[in-house]
Amino acid sequence: QVRLVESGGGLVQAWGSLRLSCTAYGRNFSSNTMGWFRQPPGSGRVFVAAIRRRNVNAYYEDSVKDRFSVSRDAAKNTVYLQLNNLKPEDTAVYYCAATVATTFRAREGEYDCWGQGTQVVVSS
């Protein structure tokens, strides 16, 4: 059974930092694009960042590109999302996702495996 397990969420004050982790079990995703999405309260899930295999390229939604950083450790089958200079509007449930694609993907429907999500709350 393929599973993605996120961790690292929590409550943080504005301008603080968190590092989210997403480990895959049951399948090696090191050659595939991995993505991060988030779902703010009362809103739909939106793209945050994606990374192609072997850290070839990383992509970011405009509002986070100077504050968040995505990386991966192929040996651990794990993807990370470093969140810096957090703002209250970053409050959301953060999800990691995997796709069979090896190129950039930003739409939910292009990802076929999802984690359970980890909550991030940023207080002002």
Per-residue 3-state assignment (H helix, E strand, C coil) for the chain: CCEEEEECCEEEECCCCEEEEEEEECCCCCCCCEEEEEECCCCCCEEEEEECHHHCCEEECCCCCCCEEEEEEHHHCEEEEEECCCCHHHCEEEEEEECCCCCCCCCHHHCCEEECCEEEEEEC
Predicted confidence pLDDT, tens digits, the chain (124 residues): 899 999 999 999 999 999 999 999 999 988 899 999 999 999 999 999 999 987 679 999 999 999 999 999 999 999 999 999 999 999 999 999 999 999 999 999 999 999 999 999 999 9
Q: Give 38's strand partners.
A: 46, 94
Residues whose CB falls within 8 Å of the CB of residue 13, separated by 6 or more in sequence, listed in order:
122, 123
